[in-house]
Amino acid sequence: MSTAVPQDAGARPATSVDIARAVGLSQATVSRALNGGVVSEAARERILVAARDLGYRPNDVARGLKTRRTGVIGVVVSDILNPFYPEFLQALGSALTVRGERMLLQSGAGAGAEDREAEAVEALIRRRVDGIIATGATDASATLRELAASGYPVVLAHRTLPIDADTIESDNVAGAARVAGLLHSHGHRDVAVIAGDPGASTAQQRAIGFERRAAELGMTVRHEPGGFDADAASGAAMRVLGSGSRPTAVFGHNDTIAIAVLNVARRLGIDVPGELAVVGFDDIAAAGWPIVGLSTVRQPTAALAERAVELLTARLQEPDAAPRHEVLPIELVERTTTGPLRRTS
Amino acid sequence: MSTAVPQDAGARPATSVDIARAVGLSQATVSRALNGGVVSEAARERILVAARDLGYRPNDVARGLKTRRTGVIGVVVSDILNPFYPEFLQALGSALTVRGERMLLQSGAGAGAEDREAEAVEALIRRRVDGIIATGATDASATLRELAASGYPVVLAHRTLPIDADTIESDNVAGAARVAGLLHSHGHRDVAVIAGDPGASTAQQRAIGFERRAAELGMTVRHEPGGFDADAASGAAMRVLGSGSRPTAVFGHNDTIAIAVLNVARRLGIDVPGELAVVGFDDIAAAGWPIVGLSTVRQPTAALAERAVELLTARLQEPDAAPRHEVLPIELVERTTTGPLRRTS
C-alpha cells in the first residue's frame, strides 16, 4: 500500500523509518521487505523482528508481513440495479473466495455519482483493504485517476480509463461491430443505437464499434442518447419507436436498454422481430429467459472477474510493474429478437 | 458500537459541549439534534450552523458524537443474483445516505452458506461498523443468533428469526393468503406452490399463508420443494408442469420462481394465463416489464429498508431497549399472468 494512503489512527504506530533506524538498513529496504519485495532473508528476518519489537500492530505482522495484506479487496460498484453488476460481483466473490480473500463492497451509485464514487473509494481505503477493483469508472472518475497516479493498487475492470492502472475489459468494439454485421445480414439498413452513459468506456467503445462497421456496410445509423439504467432507456426507446420514421432495428448499449426497447415495442404493439429487431450487450440472465429471448453480445463475465483478481494480486506482489491492459474476446448470442426483416411495403 | 472502538485521527474535533456552549442550549439537546432526535426546527438549525462554524467535519455532524460512531453500517446479503436484494440494497443505501451514513456490504452467498454468513458478519465487525443489518437470515444463521444474544446491534430485515433482535419484515402470511384468494376467484381449484428455501422465514410464512387460505377455500394444493434461486426454481417448474396431472395455477414463493415457471411454460407451449396462472412474490423490476407482466405481491421494499435503518439507529441510541418486531403491509398486483381459467374439458 502506498504511503499516501492514510492509515487508521491509534497511538502513533512505528513507521518504516523507525524500523530502518532500529535495524540500520535504508528505509527503502524496510519498505520493500514490508511490501513483500525482494530483500535478503536475513534482512527480512531482522526487519520483522524489529517491526514486532517496535509495536507494530500484530494484525499487520501476523498477516505475513511480507505483504502487510489484510486479505480483503475493496470493490466499487456504481449501479447494482443493472443485473450485470450483481452477476459480475458474484463472479468476483467466487474468484476471491477461491484465493481465501474476501470482498468488501461499496456502492457509489445514485445522484452525484462522482462524489459518491470518491466517498466509496475513501471508505474502502480507510477500512484497510489491500487494493481496489473498480467496476464503474467513467471519464468523471477523478478519484480513481488520483488513486492510480499515487501508486495505490487499483484495477479498473469492465469499464476502463486511459490511465496508468491495470485494466481488464471485454472487446466492446468487436462485439458491437458484430451486432452491426448481424443486423445487416438480416436486411436491416435503417437502425438506431440507444447509447449508454457517454462517460463510460463501454458505451464509447460500443458506439465506435457499431457505427464504424455500420458505415462500412452502408447502413444508416441514428444515435439516440440514453443511459444504462432502465428509466433513461425507456425514455430513449419511446423517442425512437414512437416517432413516425421508426428504424427497423435497435441496438441497445446494454441489455437493460434492449429490454426497455422490447417493453416499449410490446406496449406499442410492434412485432419483434418481424417489424423490429432488438439486440443488447452483456447477456445478463434475463436475456436468456425464453420469455425474453434477447439476442445480445455475451461478456465473459467470469473471466473478467478472474483476471481482475489476478491483475490485482500481481500488482500487490510487484507494485512497480508496468500497468497491464487486457481485452477479452466476446461472443454473439442470437436468440429470438432478431431475424429476417419482414418487408411490409 | 462499543466504546472500545478506536476512532480515525485528525485534529481534535469540536464536541457537542462546544456546540452547546456556542448556541446556549444543553449538551443533551445538541446531542439529540445531532442524532436525529426530537428538537425544535429552530434549535436544530442553530445547532447545525454552529456545528459547521466550529469546524465539525460534516460527516461527524450527521453522525452524532456521543456514540463514537463510525457512520458505517454493515449489511449482509445472501443472494445478490436475486434482483430483490440489489433493489433492497439500493433502498438501504438511500436510507443511509439521507442520514449521512454509509453502507459496507458483505455477501455471504454461495456454497456453505452458513459459514460464509459467519465470515461475512465477522469481516464487517472487524472493520468497525456501528451495527449490522442482515437481510438473508435462515434457521441456520447461528452467527446472527449469537450476535443478537451478545447485545451487538443487529437488525434482521426482510427475513427474520424468532430471536431477541430488532426485526422488520413484510406481511408474508397475508400476502400469500391474498394470492390464494385471487387464484380462487379466477376459478382455480388445483394449484401448486413452488417453495423457496425452507429455512427462510419468508418461505415459511408464504407457505402457511397460502396453504391455510387455500384450505379454507377448498382448493387442492401441491407443495413442491424448490428454492429461491433460478436453477432450483427451473427444476421444480419442470417437475410441476412436465407431469401428466398439471395444476391450473402455480404460486412461486418469489418472483424468480414465478419467472422460471413462465419460462418453462413458454418452452412447453403452455398458454399463460389461459391454461396456467402464475403468481410470484416481491414485485422485482422484471415482474413489471410489459413482456413479463407477472402478477405478484409487492413488498414495500423502500419502507422495509427505511425501517431497518431506523430500528438500527434507535438500537444504537438505546442499546438496552426491548427488541422490536415490526411487520409491514403488502399489496397484491395483478398483471397479465393471471386471469379467468379457460376450461378445456
- Residue B308 CA to residue B167 CA, distance in Å, equals 8
Question: Is B81 an 8 Å CB contact of chain A?
Answer: yes
**What is the maximum span of chain A, computed from C-alpha positions, in angstroms?**
87
Question: Is A302 an 8 Å CB contact of chain B?
Answer: no
Write out the three cell numbers for A191.
437502425
Question: Is B261 an 8 Å CB contact of chain A?
Answer: no
Q: How far are the Cα atoms of A239, A272, A275, A344, B80 from residue A182, in angstroms, in the given order?
A: 24, 16, 16, 20, 33
How many of the other CB atoms lie within 10 Å of CB of A199? 16
In chain B, DSSP assigns E strands to 72-77, 102-107, 131-134, 154-157, 166-170, 190-194, 220-224, 249-252, 277-279, 296-298, 325-328, 331-333
Amino acid (one-letter) located at A26: S
Question: Is A93 an 8 Å CB contact of chain B?
Answer: yes
Q: What is the ipTM of this complex?
A: 0.80
Question: Is A80 an 8 Å CB contact of chain B?
Answer: yes
Question: Is A103 an 8 Å CB contact of chain B?
Answer: yes
Among B104, B116, B285, whose Cβ lies nearest the Cβ of A230?
B285
- Residue B189 CA to residue A312 CA, distance in Å, equals 57
Mutate to test the interface with A, among B77, B104, B116, B241 (most CBs of A within 10 A): B104
Question: Is A54 an 8 Å CB contact of chain B?
Answer: no
* CB contact (8 A) between residue A105 and residue B107: yes
pLDDT for residue B322: 95
- Residue B23 CA to residue B40 CA, distance in Å, equals 14
Identify all chain A residues contacting B103, using CB atoms and an 8 Å cutoff.
Answer: 106-107
A198-202, B19-23, B207-211: lowest mean pLDDT where? B19-23
* Residue B234: closest C-alpha in chain A: A289
Each residue's pLDDT tens digit in chain A (345 positions)? 333 333 343 345 567 777 888 888 877 777 767 765 567 777 777 887 787 777 654 343 334 444 567 888 999 988 899 999 999 999 998 898 888 888 888 876 544 566 778 888 887 888 778 999 999 999 989 889 999 888 899 999 999 999 989 999 999 999 999 999 999 999 999 999 999 999 999 999 999 999 999 999 999 999 999 999 999 999 999 999 998 889 999 999 999 999 999 999 999 999 999 999 999 999 999 999 999 999 999 999 999 999 999 999 999 999 999 999 999 999 999 999 999 887 654
More confident residue, B196 or B149: B196
Phi, psi angles (nearest 5°) of residue B132: -130, 135
Mutate to test the interface with A, among B7, B85, B119, B127 (most CBs of A within 10 A): B127
pLDDT for residue A305: 97
Question: Is B71 an 8 Å CB contact of chain A?
Answer: no
pLDDT for residue A2: 36
Write out the three cell numbers for A187.
436486411
Tell me: pLDDT of B59 over 70: no
Three-state SS at A42: helix
Identify all chain A residues contacting B9, using CB atoms and an 8 Å cutoff.
Answer: 8-9
- Residue A52 CA to residue A67 CA, distance in Å, equals 15
Question: Is A305 an 8 Å CB contact of chain B?
Answer: no
- Residue A202 CA to residue A215 CA, distance in Å, equals 20
Q: What is the mean pLDDT of chain B?
A: 87
* CB contact (8 A) between residue B81 and residue A90: yes
Residue range B16-42: mean pLDDT, rounded: 75
Question: Is A129 an 8 Å CB contact of chain B?
Answer: no
- Residue A313 CA to residue A151 CA, distance in Å, equals 15
Question: Is B270 an 8 Å CB contact of chain A?
Answer: no
Site of grid cell 485534529? B11
Which stretches within chain A are classed as H helix?
A: 16-23, 27-34, 41-53, 58-62, 84-98, 113-126, 142-149, 172-185, 201-216, 230-242, 255-268, 301-317
Q: Collect all residues with Cβ–Cβ distance below 8 Å to A41 and sequence separation of at least 6.
A: none
Identify all chain B residues contacting A10, using CB atoms and an 8 Å cutoff.
Answer: 6
What are the pLDDT digits (tens) for B269-317? 999 999 999 999 999 999 999 999 999 999 999 999 999 999 999 999 9
CB pairs under 8 A between A and B: 109
Question: Is A107 an 8 Å CB contact of chain B?
Answer: yes
- Residue B64 CA to residue B70 CA, distance in Å, equals 10
pLDDT for residue B61: 39
- Residue B294 CA to residue A181 CA, distance in Å, equals 35
Question: Is B285 an 8 Å CB contact of chain A?
Answer: yes
Q: Collect all residues with Cβ–Cβ distance below 8 Å to A115 and sequence separation of at least 6.
A: none
Residue closest to A297 by CA, chosen among A251, A230, A236, A237 = A251
Q: Collect all residues with Cβ–Cβ distance below 8 Å to B167 and sequence separation of at least 6.
A: B155, B156, B157, B160, B161, B323, B324, B325, B326
Identify all chain A residues contacting B107, using CB atoms and an 8 Å cutoff.
Answer: 89-90, 93, 103, 105
Residue closest to B82 by CA, chosen among A23, A89, A142 = A89
Q: What is the DSSP letter of B288?
A: G
pLDDT for residue B55: 67
Identify all chain A residues contacting B89, using CB atoms and an 8 Å cutoff.
Answer: 80, 107
Among A103, A106, A127, whose Cβ lies nearest the Cβ of B107?
A103
- Residue B177 CA to residue B160 CA, distance in Å, equals 19
Distance to chain B for A12, nearest Cα, Å: 10
pLDDT for residue B62: 41
Question: Is B130 an 8 Å CB contact of chain A?
Answer: no
Identify all chain A residues contacting B94, using CB atoms and an 8 Å cutoff.
Answer: 110
* Residue A267: closest C-alpha in chain B: B290
* CB contact (8 A) between residue B263 and residue A9: no
* CB contact (8 A) between residue B104 and residue A107: no
pTM of the model: 0.81
CA angle A84, A85, A89 (to 5 degrees): 125
